[in-house]
Amino acid sequence: MAEFFQDGPRLSNTWDGDRALRRCLARLLPADVLAEVGPGLRSLGARAAGEMAELAAAAEASPPRHVPFDAWGRRVDRIETSPAWERLHAIAAEEGIVATAYERRHGPLSRLHQFARLYLYHPSSAIASCPLAMTDGAARVLELFADEELAARALPHLLSRDPATFWTSGQWMTERAGGSDVGDTATVARRDGARFRLHGSKWFTSATSAPMALTLARLEGAPAGSRGLTLFYLELRDERGELQGVRVLRLKDKLGTRALPTAELELDGVPARQVGEAGRGVATVATLLNVTRLYNACCATGTLARALQLARDYARRRRAFGRPLAAHALHVETLAGLAAEHAAALQLTFRCAELCGREETGEATAAERALLRLLTPIAKALTGRQAVAGAAEALEAFGGAGYVEDTGLPVLLRDAQVLAIWEGTTNVLALDALRAAAREEALPPLVADLERLLAAARGGPLVEAAHRLRQLAGACQAWWRRTAPEGGEALEMGARAFALGLGRAYAGALLVAQAAWEVEQGDGEEASSAVAVARRFAEAHLSAPPGLSADADAARRLVFAGEPEEGA
């Protein structure tokens, strides 16, 4: 009997293989713009499936190394990264992953174009997308808050398409006391002439090999808490390329993102320049955080796309019980669920990109600005969780092969997990959504926009889907009206269900709008597929509304079973 060897999954052009992306852009971009940007996206899709996928595997296999001393005992703190990792950065510059948004060739639509590029780039980037997120966020902060001299120095590097002059930026927000409670930042800024010197330590600094960073510090004498923090710009190396006032303590040994150098740092007098108003550091860095949160959503969606593409390809190659997996109804049903999650995440992310582009070019209305403020934490939280669940589902679709490192599959799950953690965990983001709803009064614009989207479901099979989505959004809104005035634990306990429920309802409404648009376009196959996705998402994937279990004491008893509470 001939021996059996299984073929692994193969990647093909990731633009051509992604109907959800192409159809979403066809709805959101005018035909002439899509015709102009389409060929570049197709060539990036080819690169992502070929050259970049190989580089990503090589970068993953050759993680960064911290070299604290040179051969003669001098402290050097070099971080050595692989040539593959460096090449992926160079490709980011060549492909204008950051620059596209700031060149604004297509005005407010430039963010959509850029997000399509990022979405194709990320899954074959070994998470070089992380430094790019921080680079983009830093560019936006400098564009808005830096003085002319600083903007003229740094922005041309951050927005360069030339790998030789392209800079990435770090964003150092996390200290030992925590990454969420940024107000506990202990780094101190001491005045030194017109500039400052920073002293303190940073606990998680991703992309430590970047030439510059933005970070928070407390001016000497400023009050404790977040209102005492100011944002600073610094360059890590002097003209000779040596670290100035920065010591690398060690690199983190992480579950995933292994090609990405993430370090613990000690700052001992690194020269820095203030950015934005003193004492407004958190509010200023929030601009950066909102950009990186949208990147996170885009990369989470790209992860889902990759998981789906690999699982779909494998379903045609792998036979079990006498048939390909693609002929097993339950297997296909499982992948259809994954496809619906991916399509919803995609719609939500690209709606955020559309709003972001409008805001940055001054075209957004007040309602659109409030909507973006609320959708940003929601999209980050929802898609981060979808990516983790989707990557796990995809691995299961490969059986044991999904659990074996040299298939290249487990990295999907290891790298997805961070998407739900960094840039704000689900709970931090859910609480941020409450803040946005309260301070920016962002809920009415979201509900109004959801109604506008659902109004496209005039008759036919989308009506029932629209009804369900409206019900979920209505339950979130009713809970908010009932609970927000009281505040307290009941409000906090419902935050997750509120944020995720609104996110699913709004993403579902976008799927309904996409489907209604496809029906109007008159291509029967596209229309029936889009209608099926919207219905599936609305029927099978909605979450429980907030307020179902709002008993904080019962939750405490359940978790701690009568153990004494500490530090309440």
Neighbours of 287 (CB within 10 A): 18
Does 424 contact ligand MFK by CB under 6 A? yes
Residue from 43, 160, 180, 543 binding ligand MFK (CB under 6 A): 180
Task: Mark the segment that binds ligand MFK (CB under 6 A) among 151-159, 304-312, 314-322, 432-440.
Answer: 432-440
Distance CA(380)–CA(111), nearest Å, equals 17
Distance CA 492, CA 431 (A): 7
Stretch that binds ligand MFK, among 56-64, 289-297, 346-354, 505-513 (CB under 6 A): 289-297
139-177 residues labelled b (16+ CB within 10 A) or e (exposed): bbbbeebbeeeebeebbebbbbbeeeebbbbbbbbbbee
Residue 73 beta carbon to ligand MFK: minimum distance, rounded to whole angstroms: 33
Among 290, 334, 483, 529, binds ligand MFK (CB under 6 A): 290
Q: Residue 417 contacts by C-beta under 8 Å, 6 or more apart in sequence? A: 255, 256, 388
Of the residues 133, 146, 219, 412, which one makes contact with ligand MFK according to CB under 6 A: 133
Q: Does 299 bind ligand MFK (CB under 6 A)?
A: yes
Helices (H), 214-365: 281-317, 329-360
- The smaller minimum CB distance to ligand MFK, of residues 26 and 438, is found at 438
**Should residue 179 be labelled a site residue for ligand MFK when binding is judged by CB under 6 A?**
yes
Q: Using CA atoms of 362, 366, 371, 374 in order, give the dihedral in degrees to the nearest 10.
A: 100
Contact flag: residue 471 with ligand MFK (CB under 6 A) = no
Q: Which listed residue (14, 114, 124, 296) binds ligand MFK by CB under 6 A?
A: 296
Residue 187 binds to ligand MFK (criterion: CB under 6 A):
no
Region near ligand MFK per CB under 6 A, out of 15-23, 105-113, 280-288, 537-545: 280-288
Q: Tell me which stretch binds ligand MFK (CB under 6 A): 129-137, 189-197, 404-412, 491-499.
A: 129-137
Reported residue count of the chain is 568
Look at residues 48, 291, 264 and name the one whose alpha carbon lies nearest to residue 172.
264
Among 210, 428, 462, 516, binds ligand MFK (CB under 6 A): 428
- For residues 489 and 298, give the distance between their C-alpha atoms in angstroms, rounded to a whole number: 32
Give the Cβ contact number of residue 539 at 10 Å: 13
Under rule CB under 6 A, residue 171 binds ligand MFK: yes
State yes or no: residue 62 binds ligand MFK (CB under 6 A): no
Binding-site size, ligand MFK (CB under 6 A): 29
Cβ-based nearer residue to ligand MFK, 203 or 479: 203
**Binds ligand MFK by CB under 6 A, chosen from 185, 226, 309, 349:** 226
286 lies in the site for ligand MFK, by CB under 6 A: yes
Residue-wise DSSP of 67-91: EEE-TTS-EEEEEE--HHHHHHHHH
User: Among residues 203, 422, 480, 517, which is the contact residue for ligand MFK, using CB under 6 A?
Assistant: 422
Single out the segment in contact with ligand MFK by CB under 6 A; choices: 17-25, 171-179, 186-194, 524-532: 171-179
The yes or no reply on residue 387 touching ligand MFK (CB under 6 A) is no
Tell me which stretch binds ligand MFK (CB under 6 A): 128-136, 140-148, 509-517, 529-537.
Answer: 128-136
Candidates 129, 185, 208, 426; binder of ligand MFK (CB under 6 A) is 129
169-172 vs 75-80, strand pairing mode: unpaired
Using an 8 Å Cβ cutoff, are 502 and 446 in contact? yes
Q: Which of 135, 169, 174, 215 forms a contact with ligand MFK (CB under 6 A)?
A: 174
Roughly what angle, to the nearest 10 degrees, separates helices 426-439 and 488-521? 90
Strands annotated E in 29-130: 65-69, 75-80
> What's the rounded Cα separation, in Å, for the pair 330 and 323?
13
Region from 17-25, 59-67, 278-286, 522-530 binding ligand MFK, contact rule CB under 6 A: 278-286
Closer by beta carbon to ligand MFK, 224 or else 552: 224
Q: Does 283 bind ligand MFK (CB under 6 A)?
A: yes
> Which residue in this structure is represented by tokens 């579902």?
508
- The 8-class DSSP code of residue 419 comes to G
Binding of ligand MFK at residue 182 (CB under 6 A)?
yes
Quote the CA–CA distance of 124 and 128 in Å, as a whole number: 9
**At residue 69, what are phi and psi to the nearest 5 degrees?**
-125, 155
Closest-by-Cβ residue to ligand MFK is 226
Interacting stretch for ligand MFK, rule CB under 6 A, among 153-161, 168-176, 236-244, 355-363? 168-176
| CA–CA gap between residue 217 and residue 229 (Å, rounded) | 6
Residues forming the site for ligand MFK (CB under 6 A): 129-130, 133-134, 171, 173-174, 179-180, 182-183, 206, 226, 282-283, 286, 289-290, 292, 295-296, 299, 422-424, 428, 432, 435, 439
